[in-house]
Amino acid sequence: MRGYYIAGNWKMHKTRAEAAELAKALVEQLRDGKHKYLVAPSFTLLETVGPLLKGSNIVLGAQNMAAEEQGAHTGETSVLQLKDLGVGTVILGHSERRHVYKEDDALINKKVRLALKQGLDVILCIGELLEEREAGNAEAVCETQTVKGLEGVSAEDLSRVTLAYEPVWAIGTGKTATPEDADAIHGSVRAVIRRLYGESAAQRIIIQYGGSVKPDNAAQLMAKENIDGALVGGAALKADSFVPIAKFA
């Protein structure tokens, strides 16, 4: 039986003081939460937020990482540095990394395999652009990103991978895929996992939805058969909006 997994991606927001205030509020207010939780602050905030999450039911996540363990890579952050800070999970392949910073499937796959090799869990993001959806290619795009993102990932390591479907046209725009549209893509992605790894893996893998998730649409989305949680952006920046999503009824 799959549980729900609610993750907050803070993106490039918050000072250390602001991050500490939010982390403390979430630890307090999610203490009795029944699901799995994660927050992913900016790299500069990990050392501040990590100790505040210790002993809580919230995992410390990172928003990205380099494709190499270490070396002459100015401006990058290594998986070893993330582990040193207590990071347990890394978000990879987010649409902003794909489309703004031009990361391709091969680079994202290299990062996925390195993260898993070093013992981190992975949230692998997939999702189509508006023009891809309008051309009827949404499922094909998500299938390609899933297959290429998981290339070389063993069935055993797949148990440490969560998928996050984020239609790019719905991120931060206020637009949301209808619960039915989102569930249809989630179902098709689960079918890809079934083909690659078998029925048991397909039933176990958690597939989050991301894209303008809010307190007033979270329960509707989570009610769908193939939606197992949320990767929350803007609404994750305040306890008042993230906690109702995390505790959806």
- Active site residue ranges: 94, 166
Euclidean distance between CA atoms 217 and 219, whole angstroms = 6
Q: Name beta bridge partners: 7.
A: 38, 231
| HSE-up (13 A, CA, CB side) for residue 160 | 18
Backbone phi, psi, residue 153, to 5°: -90, 125
Q: CB burial class (10 A; 0-12, 13-18, 19+) of residue 126?
A: buried
Euclidean distance between CA atoms 237 and 172, whole angstroms = 12
